[in-house]
């Protein structure tokens, strides 16, 4: 299973990031929600700020490109194996930075990847 950081996690059940956290957990992945506001998703506390994390396989991004800027250094410093840019989160600048660091970059939907068994 892939330890996954969901960037842009929201305690609002209407948000795709909320659904992604729940589906990742249901599929047996260790999931770490990181958001702008504190809260909880399916019993998992939403972290804020820049928590020290290790062994992150995947970052699933749900923030728009403008809001991502403040996380560039943080995301690169945790050295994930891949970053998934969900619809609306596409960011050519961060994609290039990640590729230079040897991080796999996907423009895809985490929910679709999970539903087709391709996560």
Interval 42-53: pLDDT, tens: 999 999 999 999
Q: Using DSSP, state whether 19 is helix, strand or coil.
A: helix
pLDDT recorded at residue 28: 96
Best CATH choice for the domain 4-115 from the list 2.60.40.1220, 3.40.718.10, 3.40.50.720, 3.40.50.2300: 3.40.50.720
Q: pLDDT value at position 92?
A: 98
pLDDT value at position 46?
Answer: 98
Residue 103 has a pLDDT of 98
pTM: 0.96
Q: What is the pLDDT of residue 15?
A: 97
The torsion angles phi and psi of 106, rounded to 5 degrees, stand at -125, 135
Which residue ranges of the chain lie beneath pLDDT 50?
A: none
Predicted local distance difference test score (pLDDT) of residue 13: 97
Beta-strand ranges (E) seen in the chain are 4-7, 31-34, 39-41, 44-46, 58-61, 82-85, 104-107
């Amino acid at each position: 299973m892939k330890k996954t950081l969901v960037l842009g996690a929201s305690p609002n059940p209407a948000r795709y990031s909320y659904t992604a956290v729940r589906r990742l957990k249901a599929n047996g992945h260790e999931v770490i929600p990181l958001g702008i506001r504190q809260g909880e998703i399916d019993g998992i506390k939403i972290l804020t700020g820049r928590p020290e994390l290790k062994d992150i396989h995947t970052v699933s991004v749900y923030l728009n490109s403008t809001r991502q800027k403040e996380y560039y250094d943080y995301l690169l410093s945790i050295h994930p194996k891949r970053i998934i840019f969900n619809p609306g989160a596409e960011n050519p600048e961060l994609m290039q930075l990640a590729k230079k660091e040897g991080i796999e970059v996907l423009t895809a939907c985490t929910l679709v990847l999970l539903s087709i068994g391709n996560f």
